């Protein structure tokens, strides 16, 4: 039986096209053989520090070569890299470090204060590496500089045999707002989220088939503008690797549309990966307003947030020869479908394939055409959520037709076999591709002494898709101070979760049961926001 492991497949690519460009990030450039050597060095350093197969290593890094190398080094050791949102505050970090059982951590030096506070609250996190070339104090511990760690390891490929059941864990927001780790086995993720190892072709039948696919194909030049802390961005990078292609990154924590446009010409980018309108609109406008070229661009994709029709049209105007694609999926499902917008057309439907169905939420039988149900994905799926069997049982459902993941999206099956996606049934807010769960933010707001009650909702926003907004009632004897509430909430949750607007109301909309009435609250917030 064929064994598919991401580190094994990467090494096949290295041996097939060692001198191909593998990674470009600012002034840093690696061929495949060079990327292999530095990844081996870091893996051997981690091994010398006691990191073993199955251990979890946090990656709290901006986009850059360090992220790439750290993840590859972990996979080579059969360890598990854990994506950590660099926007999280200390309280959130402490939860995630503990929940993920981290043994090691890579982090950005400028985040050291919050890292120090979080590390002090957990046990067992002893291997610390700071990006760059300068050591860093983390409380009573010392974090070795990334470049020093590389120098202490050797470049040989001499690792133990790997398994297709080795884990890749992707942390994503949960219904309570606290992130949960989705546990993917390598061989399941390859076919669910990484196009079967042969992008644009039939899935691999054995790892060795990758050699001929690379030799016969055209390498991608992939620009992933989205942060690598998100699963969809990591998936895009692996897809480029499987073509023997080049990943082009803009270093740092910010999306810089001018740099994305520059890379189109300078690096011959063939595929651009974005997150919704928040990235796509400034990208298209910058290209149209500037003096840029895109001689090789064939595909612009969005994952994590759906492109609006207006922004799709802007992209089509800027790149008339490129295919504009909305990819749909989740950390729990991998790639579940897509919508392709032809020039001047309107992409309404996600394409249905064998893994994706619409199921009755009560019987879990397939819905008839025109019937509203829950979007469900079967086939290759994760094991479930790390250390959360109850949530796993609620989300990964055993049905008469097999096991499906049902994340909570309502949908309708159309006569032509496509699916109309109606949206998430929960109250999750999608702001620029980031998930924000109201309960977590509300808890932070209510900790302010002036607040008696709070509800958080999303209102429409041209740039971000949805804007986080809060309704509050104020305690007797206190004044409503929006600036103070913003500053307070930022100490409880990450900046992107903090409401951009607070509105004072007299009575909070709630159901008779006492649960928040989010439907009424959202309408009220939109009205107060002038919509």
Q: Please tell me the predicted confidence (pLDDT) of residue 330.
A: 84
Angle at 332 (CA atoms; ends 400, 260), nearest 5 degrees: 145
- Burial degree of 196 (CB within 10 A; 0-12, 13-18, 19+): middle
- What pTM does this model have? 0.84
Q: Flag whether pLDDT at 346 surpasses 60.
A: no
Q: Flag whether pLDDT at 255 surpasses 60.
A: yes
What average pLDDT is seen over the chain? 91
What DSSP element (H or E) covers 63? none
* Nearest Cα residue to 103 out of 78, 122, 131: 122
Higher pLDDT: 354 or 508? It is: 508
Q: Flag whether pLDDT at 352 surpasses 70.
A: no
Query: What mean pLDDT do residues 101-106 have?
Result: 98
* pLDDT tens per residue across span 306-315: 776 768 888 9
249 beta partners: 25
Domains and CATH numbers, the chain: 6-212 (3.40.50.980), 350-424 (2.30.38.10), 429-528 (3.30.300.30)
**Could you count the other beta carbons within 10 Å of the beta carbon of residue 372?**
14
Query: What mean pLDDT do residues 437-452 have?
Result: 86
Q: Please tell me the predicted confidence (pLDDT) of residue 437.
A: 78
pLDDT grade, residue 452 (50/70/90)? confident
Q: Please tell me the predicted confidence (pLDDT) of residue 155.
A: 97
Query: Tokens for 366?
Result: 């397939």
pLDDT grade, residue 176 (50/70/90)? very low
Q: Please tell me the predicted confidence (pLDDT) of residue 130.
A: 98
Q: Please tell me the predicted confidence (pLDDT) of residue 511.
A: 61
Burial call 243-274: b when 16+ CB within 10 Å, e when fewer: bbbbbbbbbeeebebebbbbbbeebebbbbbb
pLDDT grade, residue 350 (50/70/90)? low
Q: Flag whether pLDDT at 343 surpasses 50.
A: no
Q: Flag whether pLDDT at 453 surpasses 70.
A: yes
* Nearest Cα residue to 385 out of 196, 226, 125, 167: 167
Q: Which stretch of 73-82, 371-380, 422-431, 441-450 has the lowest confidence by average pLDDT?
A: 422-431
Q: Flag whether pLDDT at 175 surpasses 50.
A: no
Q: E strands, 32-75, where?
A: 56-60
Query: What mean pLDDT do residues 330-336 have?
Result: 87
pLDDT grade, residue 160 (50/70/90)? very high
* pLDDT tens per residue across span 358-398: 999 889 999 999 998 989 999 999 999 999 999 999 999 99
Q: Flag whether pLDDT at 344 surpasses 50.
A: no
* pLDDT tens per residue across span 120-158: 999 999 999 999 999 999 998 999 999 999 999 999 999
Query: What mean pLDDT do residues 164-192 have?
Result: 88
Distance in angstroms (rounded) separating the CA atoms of residues 487 and 136: 28
Q: Please tell me the predicted confidence (pLDDT) of residue 512.
A: 46
Query: Tokens for 60?
Result: 């709290």
Q: Please tell me the predicted confidence (pLDDT) of residue 394.
A: 92
Q: Please tell me the predicted confidence (pLDDT) of residue 443.
A: 78
**Could you count the other beta carbons within 10 Å of the beta carbon of residue 451?**
23
Query: What mean pLDDT do residues 159-164 have?
Result: 97
Q: Please tell me the predicted confidence (pLDDT) of residue 340.
A: 60
Query: What mean pLDDT do residues 177-203 have?
Result: 92
* pLDDT tens per residue across span 262-314: 999 999 999 999 988 778 888 999 999 999 999 999 999 988 767 767 688 88
């Amino acid at each position: 039986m064929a064994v598919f492991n991401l580190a094994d497949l990467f090494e096949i690519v290295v041996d097939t096209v060692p001198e191909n460009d593998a990674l470009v990030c600012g002034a840093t450039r690696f061929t495949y053989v060079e990327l292999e050597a530095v990844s081996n060095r870091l893996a051997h350093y981690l091994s010398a520090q006691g990191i073993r197969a199955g251990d979890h290593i946090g990656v709290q890094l901006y986009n850059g070569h360090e992220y790439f190398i750290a993840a590859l080094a972990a996979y080579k050791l059969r360890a598990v890299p854990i994506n950590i949102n660099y926007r999280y505050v200390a309280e959130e970090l402490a939860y995630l470090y503990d929940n993920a059982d981290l043994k090691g951590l890579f982090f950005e030096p400028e985040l050291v204060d919050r890292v120090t506070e979080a590390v002090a609250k957990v046990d067992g996190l002893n291997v610390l590496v700071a990006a760059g070339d300068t050591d860093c104090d983390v409380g009573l511990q010392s974090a070795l500089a990334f470049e020093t760690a590389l120098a202490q390891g050797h470049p040989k490929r001499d690792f133990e045999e790997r398994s297709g059941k080795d884990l890749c864990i992707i942390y994503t927001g949960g219904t309570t707002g606290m992130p949960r780790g989705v546990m993917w086995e390598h061989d399941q993720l390859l076919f669910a989220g990484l196009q079967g190892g042969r992008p644009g072709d039939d899935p691999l039948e054995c790892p060795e088939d990758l050699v001929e696919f690379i030799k016969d194909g055209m390498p991608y030049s992939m620009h992933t503008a989205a942060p690598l802390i998100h699963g969809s961005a990591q998936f895009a990078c692996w897809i480029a690797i499987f073509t023997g292609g080049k990943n082009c990154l803009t270093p740092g924590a910010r999306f810089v549309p001018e740099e994305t446009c520059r890379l189109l010409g300078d690096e011959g980018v063939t595929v651009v990966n974005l997150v919704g309108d928040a990235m796509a609109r400034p990208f298209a406008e910058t290209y149209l307003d500037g003096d840029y070229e895109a001689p090789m661009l064939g595909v612009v994709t969005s994952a994590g947030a759906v492109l609006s029709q207006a922004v799709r049209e802007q992209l089509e105007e800027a790149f008339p020869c490129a295919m504009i694609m909305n990819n749909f999926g989740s950390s729990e499902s991998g790639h579940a479908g897509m919508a392709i917008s032809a020039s001047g057309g309107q992409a309404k439907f996600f394409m249905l394939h064998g893994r994706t169905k619409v199921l009755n939420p009560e019987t879990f039988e397939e819905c008839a055409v025109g019937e509203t149900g829950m979007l469900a994905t079967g086939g290759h799926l994760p094991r479930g959520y790390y250390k959360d069997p109850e949530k796993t049982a609620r989300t990964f459902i055993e049905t008469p037709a097999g096991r499906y993941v049902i994340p909570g999206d309502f949908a309708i099956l159309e006569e032509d076999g496509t699916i109309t996606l109606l949206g998430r049934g929960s109250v999750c807010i999608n702001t620029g591709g980031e998930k924000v769960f109201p309960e977590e933010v509300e808890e932070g707001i209510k900790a302010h002494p002036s607040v008696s009650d709070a509800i958080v909702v999303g209102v429409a926003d041209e740039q971000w898709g949805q804007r986080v907004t809060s309704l509050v009632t104020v305690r007797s004897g206190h004044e409503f101070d929006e600036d103070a509430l913003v500053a307070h909430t930022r100490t409880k949750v990450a900046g992107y979760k903090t409401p951009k607007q607070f509105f004072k109301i007299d009575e909070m909309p709630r159901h008779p049961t006492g649960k928040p009435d989010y439907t009424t609250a959202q309408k009220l917030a939109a009205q107060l926001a002038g919509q």
